[in-house]
Structure 1
Amino acid sequence: MPPTGDALARRYRRLLIGYPRSWRRARADEVVAVLLDAAPPGRTRPTVREAVNLLRHGLRARLGRPGSRTVVAWAALTAVICGLFSAALASWAAWQTARPLPGRAETTAIVAEVLPGYEVGEIRPGSALFTFYTQPLRPRNVDSLLLGDGGEYQQGATEAAATGTAPATQQEIIALAQRRLGETGWRVYAPHVVPEAACVVGGCASTGGPRDVSLMARRGDTGFQLWLPAERSVNDTYLTVSLSRAAPPAALPAGIAAGLLGAAAGWLVFGWASRRTGRPHRAANAVSVLHTFTLLLWWSPVLLAAPQTLRHHLDEPHPVWHPLWEWLGQPSLLLFFVVGAACALCGLGLAALPRRDADPLHTTALD
């Protein structure tokens, strides 16, 4: 038995935490003794390679697949995606604590504060913090969310428009807005210019024509966007102000807490199913296939949406960041999540079937 007071022995024992408790009780002393015998004189800490190997093999044993080289990676992918979806759901719930969107009176006051002397003739208050085709999401919209229209579930905003002949140029209006926003306590971002572009099958290219300009700012939980089109629209709109709300304070802690809990639950459920379906389980192959399909369906939207959303955030200022679920491709690709969840539930149901070695008749026949 290795000396328990030896620092190296204690550190080796800590690295065996990945192994199941029953395994540690039966073999920990033997393994630590072998490691100590192989260690050179004077060593006080395990090498990085030893630490990684002990943790990796321990997790494989805990997951019921000591001979598998990929089970830890599968478990990690499952835990991470479960954590991300849990965090997104919790942050969505926390969003419901945000203040309602600015009404007509608040919008009029902000426009008068930022653009004194400019009259907005039309104010369209947002109907909800998040809307589906500008309206609150309702149960009857679920089929549309599933069948390709999920991208229309977007953050709501209150909009005000000024029509007629612009009393100043784009540059003058932007300069006025920047100065007034800074004077009234807003955090102002650099103007974003959108050049006119012509798009063909191979992509889009600037034509060198007129440019739309937007200016964004934030004060407290309110996001501000001023949009100046290069050419007036059909209804002679030359200026649009959009006001939105930022994520409430509860969104971040709720997302972190739910993400950690979801990741832990995903790991534990995967470990249970992995141990249950070790050979000779009658549905082992089916459970593996269903699990593969689940991860493919759940990770594909993330791998598609996250880079695009990041690129979008880098291309233009964002006083109010897009919510977490949009980074995960939801609800734009909600059907992928639903089908993946169905595969996961079927796999767990099959994993719960009795093992063959638990069947008394099967055991008797083998004997």
Structure 2
Amino acid sequence: MPPTGDPLANRYRRLLLCYPRKWRRLRGEEMVAVLLASATPGRTRPTPRETVNLLRHGLRSRLGRPASYSVVACAVLTAVICGLFSAALASWVAWQTARPLPDRAETTALVAEVLPGYDAKEVDAPTALFTYYSQPLRLENLDSLLLGDGGEYQQGAVVAVVTAVPPASQQETLALAQRRLRETGWRVYPPYVVPGPTCTGISCDPAARDTTIFARRGDTGLDLRLPARPSVDSTPVTVALRRATPPAVLPAGVLGGLIGAVAGWLVFGWASRRTERPHFAADAVTVLHTITLLLWWSPAVLAAPQLLQHHRDEPHPVWHPLWEWLGQPALSLFFVVGAGCALCGLALATLPRRDPGPLTTTATG
């Protein structure tokens, strides 16, 4: 469909790009002529109704199988999960724009600012924003990450062990930290009290609970953990610093998600049209696609409600990244096996059919 000088005709042709190429080659000019004949004189743009109809029927025609209702649901599920995976990948790339984690000197200065009179005795400062077993992810760790041990891939944090001599009570440290955080420009969240007793033995006091303060200033999130009974020999006070989500993550995730969803729909539609009966592998491709959807969606269905409850239970100045909401890479084995099934199905779809079959037509109404 070569362009012409008529702007309305050219806009109709652009909308018809949502139809398969074979359909456009055989019916495209005929459809444009019908649309132009029904248009009011002087109009230069398609009406909203025409636009919606052309997009809806064009995308549906890409799926083939006009007698099937389930193919649309499968296409939607495929497009959504592909969009989510693409958004997670794009957001991971955008996370690399975050500033490096605070070094030991910056962490020590921050502890002195927030908790005057306390000393940062030990400072563990990772060299990466995301770490695998507290170390930067390396290629030699990739197989372990993808094959069952991905839960250890987490956002890195600088952790400082803070002490005071003599040890102060939990309430004294809590009051001091909250006051100093507010005075130095931090947004302070309500304290989070760890549920359940934190001690054992005859002298255990069930009322004693560890408490955590969450705060954020700029692109830095702070977690201050206060043990129930501070002492020289007990669990020490710890300060953890991590970077907040960079501004580039949201637009990158949205753009990546849209691209992935469109690509997922188009690839699914291509495979669906290619394997319409009497294709000899139609049943095999259907089974492989069903397995793929189950393996890709199951981690997200399991992880998202748990993370949502986790976020509701305690404050989160820094939200968990998108891929963790999809159960990745903790359950990446599901993704790997599902990807293998998807590739097998696409490989079968490339094989020639016994009969090319008639062209599927779809009216625009």
Aligned position for 1:82: 82
The partner residue of 2:330 within 329, 332, 345 is 332
Q: 1:93 to 1:54 in 2, by over 3 A?
A: closer
Unaligned runs of 5+ in 2: 1-14, 36-47, 199-204, 358-365
Q: How many Å separate the matches in 1 of 2:286 and 2:244?
A: 42
The DSSP-based 3-state class of the residue aligned with 2:277 is coil
Aligned residue identity for 1:252: L
CA-to-aligned-CA distance 1:234-277 (integer Å, 9 cap, x gap): 95443100001112222111111111101110011011111111
Q: How many Å separate the matches in 2 of 1:237 and 1:316?
A: 21
| Matched ranges for 1:1-367 at <5 A | 21=24, 59-163=59-163, 167-197=167-197, 208-232=206-230, 236-358=234-356
Q: How many Å separate the matches in 1 of 2:356 and 2:16?
A: 30
Q: Shift of the alpha carbon at 1:93?
A: 1.2
Q: How many Å separate the matches in 2 of 1:294 and 1:330?
A: 16
Q: Shift of the alpha carbon at 1:17?
A: 9.6
Aligned residue identity for 1:137: L
The DSSP-based 3-state class of the residue aligned with 1:289 is helix
Contact 1:57–1:66 (Cα < 8 Å) also in 2 = no
Task: Identify the structure with bigger relative contact order (alpha carbons < 8 Å, sequence gap 6+).
Answer: 2
Q: How many Å separate the matches in 2 of 1:72 and 1:53?
A: 16
**RMSD between superposed Cα atoms in Å:** 3.2
Q: Shift of the alpha carbon at 1:195?
A: 2.6
Unaligned runs of 5+ in 1: 1-14, 32-44, 199-206, 360-367
Aligned residue identity for 1:186: W
Aligned residues between the structures: 327
Q: How many Å separate the matches in 2 of 1:230 and 1:173?
A: 11
Q: How many Å separate the matches in 2 of 1:288 and 1:190?
A: 51
Q: 1:343 to 1:233 in 2, by over 3 A?
A: farther
The DSSP-based 3-state class of the residue aligned with 1:243 is strand
Q: Which deviates further from its counterpart, 236-245 or 140-149?
A: 140-149
| Structure that is richer in strand per residue | 1
Contact 1:227–1:240 (Cα < 8 Å) also in 2 = yes
Q: How many Å separate the matches in 1 of 2:17 and 2:343?
A: 30
Q: Which deviates further from its counterpart, 246-255 or 184-193?
A: 246-255
Percent same amino acid at aligned positions? 70
Contact 2:117–2:164 (Cα < 8 Å) also in 1 = no
Q: How many Å separate the matches in 1 of 2:158 and 2:221?
A: 10
Q: How many Å separate the matches in 1 of 2:188 and 2:294?
A: 41
